[in-house]
Amino acid sequence: MEIPAFERAVQLAEQFGPFLFAVLFILVITRTAHGYYREAITRTNPPASTEERRTYRFYFLCSVWTGLVVMALAIGWWLYANWRGGNFYQVAILNLKDNEGISADYFTKSVQRPLVPGGTPIHDVYLLIVRDRPFQVGEKFALSYYKFGPAPESGLVGVDPVPLEITYSGKPMESFRVNVQDGVPTLITINAFQPGLLMGSTASDPFLSEREGERR
């Protein structure tokens, strides 16, 4: 088998798991057992003995029933995996100025607010944390806050991030704003999470497509 074909087979096995195994079992093991049994009952020279026919028939029936059980388990696994879905925690960091930024090792989306003539440009950053186990109240999630200064006249100057933490409170969606006092940024909780209102659109969830993709 060529390397690309082998890699593709590995990807299919990883994606479909038990279901692929069940299909391969029926296509290979059951068909092979059926071929041996058919050869035994149709062979005339020399004819198969009663014991030989009984043995191949037993192997064939065992492979059929085993294939059905494996297929039922695979379907049950598929239903469980799809109904269970993932665990989502969505966070909004609101009212960031143009010279402020947020980065984190999660799905991140920045949404620019509609600008009123003469107003100060602001944007919101949405974070989506997805995993296969439930979140625990009090669990910490790290992110980094940046504040950019004036552009240097020459050369490149890096911006040192300020580490911040979000504490999970048990709510699937939470909103925060950054409060800077004496040069130290902190996160302050905002009671309501209203992504549709904040974005100024009919989209009720800025991460809807990502969440649907995770469920698939």
Pairwise CA distance, residues 50 & 29, whole Å: 23
Q: Are residues 136 and 190 in the same domain?
A: yes
- The residue with tokens 């995996």 is 81
Q: Are residues 77 and 135 in the same domain?
A: no
Q: Are residues 152 and 186 in the same domain?
A: yes
Edge-first strand order for the sheet with 140-147 is: 100-103, 140-147, 162-167
Would the pLDDT of 94 be above 80? Answer: yes
| pLDDT score recorded for residue 147 | 86
Pairwise CA distance, residues 104 & 34, whole Å: 56
**Structural domain span for residue 153:** 87-215
Q: Looking at mean pLDDT, say which of 5-9, 16-20, 114-118 comes out highest.
A: 114-118
pTM: 0.52
Neighbours of 67 (CB within 10 A): 20
Q: Are residues 120 and 80 in the same domain?
A: no
Q: Are residues 118 and 151 in the same domain?
A: yes
End position of a domain, from candidates 84, 113, 132: 84
Domain count, the chain: 2
End position of a domain, from candidates 84, 111, 143: 84
**Tokens linked to 129:** 């944390």
Pairwise CA distance, residues 195 & 126, whole Å: 9
Q: What is the pLDDT of residues 31-46, one digit of tens each?
A: 899 898 888 888 888 8
**Tokens linked to 208:** 């809807």
Q: Are residues 199 and 109 in the same domain?
A: yes
Q: Mention every residue, 6+ apart, whose C-beta is less than 8 A from residue 92.
A: 124, 125, 126, 127, 173, 174, 175, 176, 190, 193, 195, 198
Q: What is the pLDDT of residues 44-90, one digit of tens each?
A: 888 888 888 899 899 999 999 998 898 888 888 777 766 766 688 99
